[in-house]
Amino acid sequence: MCTGKCAKCIAVVLYPLALISIICNILLFFPDWKTTYAQSNELNIVTLTPEVTYMGGLLGGGIMVLVPAIHIHLTGKVGCCANRCGMFLSIGFAALGVVGALYSMSVAALGLSKGPVCLFGGKWGRPFDNNGTYLSDPDSWSLCTEPKNVVEFNVALFAVLLATACLELGLCGFQMVNGLFGCLCGTCRGKEDE
């Protein structure tokens, strides 16, 4: 497969991954499907997991991957000098995607390892802040009484964010190599491909 077609394929896969990251991060603001936990309260009690507010999925896996995906998609088109300049620029944009994916991955991993903020024993806090050992003990998840099913909610969405970020990292890293070959050899796309 030529480098131009490969760039288009990578971009087409990056679009839904960025969208999934954005949606997952937005959903994390609404545990138990209620807006009350995202709003500030009069007692200044933190009721939202801090990693949600870092917006790793929205900024890192979302916007910082979506912008490179658009440019990478455009590098597959025919241009002067076999679009070598576009392929060269795609290396930098793909590097931006790698940084965004790494940010999303680290925030999601941190969210998984520390667990959610919830009401347990009459106070708000993080009962599972023990390097992710709660993940292997689902019976302990009932410690959280409010928001309802917050542990399952956070685990599912942070796991999706982590998997999505891993895929984005691999694709953006591959595009850096593909962009290098495209810069050196051209996109090998003819007018008949358009």
Tokens of 129: 């802040």
DSSP annotation of 39: S
pTM: 0.86
Q: Report the 10 Å Cβ neighbour count for 169.
A: 20
Residue stretches of the chain with pLDDT short of 70? 1, 40-46, 76-83, 131, 186-194
28 lies in some domain: yes
Name the residue range of residue 147's domain: 3-189
136: Cα separation from own chain's centroid: 24
pLDDT (0 to 100) of residue 166: 96
Which of 81, 156, 147, 158 lies closest to 118, judged by CA? 147
pLDDT (0 to 100) of residue 134: 84
194 lies in some domain: no
Tokens of 75: 């590098």
pLDDT (0 to 100) of residue 191: 46
Burial of 120 per CB tally in 10 Å (0-12, 13-18, 19+):
middle
29 lies in some domain: yes
Terminal Cα distance for the chain, rounded: 15
3-state secondary structure of 115: coil
What domain count does the chain have?
Answer: 1
96 lies in some domain: yes
